């Protein structure tokens, strides 16, 4: 990315955006007018996100395409990433020698209020994780930050003895609070900035933004609860 990315050493790290990555000027892109004044920059343009997800799908099918897969989408922020990833996985499967059966299930988690982690995981609703027993599970998440949320979810899932669990996260944040947890597949490794768009939200706003952008202080205050 314009001199501020490195070649990723493995799928678990992804495309690395350095701490000094300034993003792109908002005037170079189109985005919803109702968010004018609320954003600092376009951090990752939509087209680059889509291309990276296509490559992730190829990596996933190469590793686990010999198994039928149950995709567990973490709502709400993961729904767009999951939909695009599954579409690519299906396309690869249709054009391969062996058709891979894929089912999609959903789980909703909540761990943020405003731009702060609440420090504990909330599983919202009555999801029956027993359906994961004996399955090859691919968890699809929007962001891995400290890793605590994903570790808590894995702990809940492992009680039901799935055959295999892999994790794909669109973003991994470099943060001092991290416990070094890494997903099996990562789209982008980014600095510890609060990003929105591509279904990532700030108090339910910005999900309709196609690009991944950095929210500014005005935007945080405007939509604070």
Neighbouring C-alpha atoms within 13 Å toward the C-beta of 62? 9
Domain boundaries, the chain: 11-222
One-letter-per-residue 3-state SS of 128-147? CHHHHCCCEEEEEEEEECCC
Q: Report the pLDDT value the prediction gives residue 156, as an integer from 0 to 100.
A: 86
pLDDT at position 2? 41
pTM of the model: 0.87
Instruction: Quote the pLDDT of residue 4.
Output: 41
The answer to whether 169 touches 158, Cβ cutoff 8 Å, is no
pLDDT for the residue numbered 9:
47
Q: Which pLDDT score is estimated for 3? A: 38
Could you say which architecture CATH assigns to the domain 11-222? 3-Layer(aba) Sandwich (3.40)
CB-based contact 224:38 (threshold 8 Å): no
Position 152 scores a pLDDT of 86
Low-confidence ranges of the chain (pLDDT < 50): 1-9, 126
Q: What is the reported pLDDT for 35?
A: 97
CA distance 87 to 69: 13
Residue bearing tokens 């991290």: 178
Q: Strands across the sheet with 5-6, in order?
A: 5-6, 15-17, 185-190, 164-173, 136-144, 69-75, 102-113, 116-124
pLDDT value, residue 87: 95
* CB environment 154-186: b (16+ within 10 A), e (fewer): beebeeeebeebbbbbbbbbebeebeebbbbbb
């Amino acid at each position: 990315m314009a001199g501020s990315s490195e070649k990723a050493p493995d799928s678990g790290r992804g495309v690395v955006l350095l701490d000094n990555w300034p993003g792109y000027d908002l005037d170079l892109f189109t985005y919803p007018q109702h968010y004018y004044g609320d954003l600092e920059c376009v951090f990752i343009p939509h087209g680059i996100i889509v291309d990276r997800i296509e490559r992730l799908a190829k990596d996933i099918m190469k590793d686990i395409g010999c198994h039928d897969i149950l995709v567990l989408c973490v709502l709400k922020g993961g729904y767009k990433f999951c939909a695009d990833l599954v579409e690519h996985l299906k396309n690869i499967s249709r054009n391969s020698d062996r058709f891979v059966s894929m089912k999609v299930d959903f789980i909703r988690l909540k761990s943020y209020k405003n731009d702060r982690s609440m420090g504990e995981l909330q599983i919202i609703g009555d999801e029956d994780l027993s359906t994961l027993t004996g399955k090859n599970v691919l968890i699809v998440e929007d962001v891995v930050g400290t890793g605590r949320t994903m570790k808590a979810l894995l702990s809940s899932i492992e009680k039901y003895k799935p055959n295999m669990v892999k994790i794909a996260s669109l973003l991994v944040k470099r943060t001092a609070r991290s416990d070094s947890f890494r997903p099996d597949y990562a789209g982008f490794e980014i600095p510890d900035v609060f990003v929105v768009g591509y279904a990532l939200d700030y108090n339910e706003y910005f999900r309709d933004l196609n690009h991944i952008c950095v929210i500014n202080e005005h935007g945080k205050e405007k939509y604070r609860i």
